[in-house]
Amino acid sequence: MKGVKFVDIRDAGDPVEIARRYSDAGADEITFLDITASSEGRETTVQTVEAIAGQVFIPLTVGGGIRCLEDIHTMLNAGADKVSINTAAVRDPDFVRRAAERFGSQCIVVAVDAKKVSEEGEPDHWQIFTHGGRNPTGIDAIEWAKRMVRYGAGEILLTSMDRDGTRIGFDLALNKAVSDAVTVPVIASGGVGNLQHLVDGVLEGHADAVLAASIFHFGQYSIQEAKRYMADHGITMRL
Amino acid sequence: MNKIAVIDYGMGNLHSVAKSVEHVGQTEDLDLRIDVTSDPKIIANADRVIFPGVGAIRDCMSEIRRLGIDDIVADVIERKPLLAICVGFQALMDFSEENEGVDCLGIAKGSVKYFGGKLCDESGHALKVPHMGWNCVEQATDHPLWDGIPDNSRFYFVHSYYVAADSSETLAGVTNYGLNFASALEKGNIFAVQFHPEKSHIAGLALLKNFLLWEGVQ
Q: Which residues on B lie below 8 Å from A70 (Cβ)?
A: none
Q: Which DSSP letter does residue B194 get?
A: S
Q: Is A2 on the interface with B (CB under 8 A)?
A: yes
Q: Is residue A239 part of a domain?
A: no
Task: Count structural domains, chain A.
Answer: 1
Q: Is A59 on the interface with B (CB under 8 A)?
A: yes
Cβ contact, residue pair B134, A81, below 8 Å? no
Distance CA B78, CA A118 (A): 65
Facing A81 at nearest CB: one of B16, B129, B154 = B16
Cβ contact, residue pair A57, B201, below 8 Å? yes
Cβ contact, residue pair B199, A59, below 8 Å? yes
Q: How distant, in Å, are the alpha carbons of A135, B65, B134 from that of B201?
A: 38, 32, 11
How far away is chain A from the Cα of B62, in angstroms, using its nearest Cα? 13
Q: Which DSSP letter does residue B72 get?
A: H
Distance CA B163, CA B142 (A): 20
Q: What is the mean pLDDT of residues A205-222?
A: 88
- Domain positions in chain B are 2-213
Distance CA B163, CA B138 (A): 15
> How deeply is B143 buried, as exposed, middle or buried, from its count of CB atoms within 10 A (0-12, 13-18, 19+)?
middle
B86 is catalytic: yes
Q: Is the dihedral of CA A137, A140, A145, A151 positive or negative?
A: negative
Q: Is residue A124 part of a domain?
A: yes
Facing A79 at nearest CB: one of B16, B132, B204 = B16
pLDDT range class, residue B218, cuts 50, 70, 90: low
Distance CA A63, CA B146 (A): 35
Q: Are A178 and A145 in contact (CB under 8 A)?
A: yes
Strand partners, A5: A29, A211
Distance CA A74, CA A71 (A): 5
Could you tell me whether strands A209-212 and A3-7 are parallel, antiparallel, or unpaired per DSSP bridges? parallel
The region of weakest confidence among A45-49, B92-96, B198-202 is A45-49
Cβ contact, residue pair B199, A58, below 8 Å? yes
Q: Is A47 on the interface with B (CB under 8 A)?
A: no
Instruction: Please calculate the CA angle A80-B10-B103 and round it to the nearest 5 degrees.
Output: 115
Answer whether residue A13 shows pLDDT above 70.
no
By CA distance, what is A186's nearest residue in B?
A: B128
How far away is chain B from the Cα of A2, in angstroms, using its nearest Cα? 7
Instruction: Give the domain extent around A71.
Output: 3-232
Q: What is the mean pLDDT of residues A214-228?
A: 88
Q: Which residue has the higher pLDDT, B24 or A17?
A: B24
Condensed to tens digits (0 to 9), the pLDDT of residues B53-63 reads: 877 889 899 99
How far away is chain A from the Cα of B26, in angstroms, using its nearest Cα? 12
Q: Which residues on A lie below 8 Å from B59 (Cβ)?
A: 102
The region of weakest confidence among A41-50, A179-188, B38-47, B61-70 is A41-50
Q: Determine which of B122, B128, B129 to mutate to test the interface with A (most A C-beta atoms within 10 Å).
A: B128
Q: Is residue A149 part of a domain?
A: yes
Active-site option among B60, B98, B159, B198 = B198
Return all residues near A107 (Cβ < 8 A) that are at least 6 apart: A72, A76, A80, A81, A82, A83, A154, B12, B13, B54, B55, B158
pLDDT range class, residue B185, cuts 50, 70, 90: very high
Convert A68-128 into a string of H (helix), E (strand) and C (coil).
CHHHHHHHHHHCCCEEEECHHHHHCCHHHHHHHHHHCHHHEEEEEEEEECCCCCCCCCEEE
Return all residues near A117 (Cβ < 8 A) that are at least 6 apart: A125, A126, A127
Q: Is A5 on the interface with B (CB under 8 A)?
A: no
Q: Is residue A17 part of a domain?
A: yes
Distance CA A89, CA A147 (A): 11
Q: How many CB pairs (< 8 A) connect A and B?
A: 98
pLDDT confidence of residue A7: 45
By CA distance, what is B121's nearest residue in A?
A: A1
pLDDT range class, residue A137, cuts 50, 70, 90: very high
Cβ contact, residue pair A80, B13, below 8 Å? yes
| A137-145 CB contacts, 8 Å cutoff, 24+ apart | A137/A90, A139/A90, A141/A112, A141/A114, A141/A174, A141/A178, A142/A177, A142/A178, A142/A181, A144/A112, A145/A110, A145/A112, A145/A178, A145/A181, A145/A182, A145/A186
The region of weakest confidence among A56-65, B26-35, B90-99, B179-188 is A56-65
Residue B205, CA atoms < 13 Å, CB-side half-sphere: 16
Distance CA B174, CA B155 (A): 12
Cβ contact, residue pair B117, A103, below 8 Å? no
pLDDT range class, residue A4, cuts 50, 70, 90: low
- Chain B positions with Cβ closer than 8 Å to A: 12-16, 19-20, 22-23, 54-56, 59, 117, 128-130, 132-135, 154, 156, 158-160, 196, 198-201, 204-205
CATH class for domain B2-213?
alpha beta
pLDDT range class, residue A74, cuts 50, 70, 90: confident
Q: Are B95 and B101 in contact (CB under 8 A)?
A: yes
Q: Measure CA of the first residue to CA of the last residue in chain B; give whole Å.
A: 19
Could you tell me whether strands B180-187 and B170-176 are parallel, antiparallel, or unpaired per DSSP bridges? antiparallel
Angle between helices B201-213 and B15-27 (to 10 degrees): 80
Answer whether residue A10 shows pLDDT above 60.
no
The region of weakest confidence among A153-162, B10-19, B99-108 is B10-19
Active-site option among B86, B104, B131, B186 = B86
DSSP sequence for A163-214: TTTT-S---HHHHHHHHHH-SS-EEEES---SHHHHHHHHHTT--SEEEE-H
pLDDT confidence of residue B13: 64
pLDDT confidence of residue B12: 61
Instruction: Please calculate the CA angle A28-A31-A37 and round it to the nearest 5 degrees.
Output: 175
Q: Is the dihedral of CA A196, A199, A201, A203 positive or negative?
A: negative
Distance CA A145, CA A153 (A): 9
Cβ contact, residue pair B132, A79, below 8 Å? no
Q: Is A185 on the interface with B (CB under 8 A)?
A: yes
Q: Which residues on A lie below 8 Å from B19 (Cβ)?
A: 53-54, 79
By CA distance, what is A179's nearest residue in B?
A: B128
Residue A129: CATH number of its domain: 3.20.20.70
Answer whether residue A3 shows pLDDT above 80.
no
Condensed to tens digits (0 to 9), the pLDDT of residues B6-36 reads: 999 877 667 788 989 999 999 999 999 999 9
Amino acid identity, position B195:
F
Facing A58 at nearest CB: one of B14, B132, B201 = B201
Q: Are A80 and A53 in contact (CB under 8 A)?
A: yes
Residue B180, CA atoms < 13 Å, CB-side half-sphere: 9
Q: Are B157 and B197 in contact (CB under 8 A)?
A: no
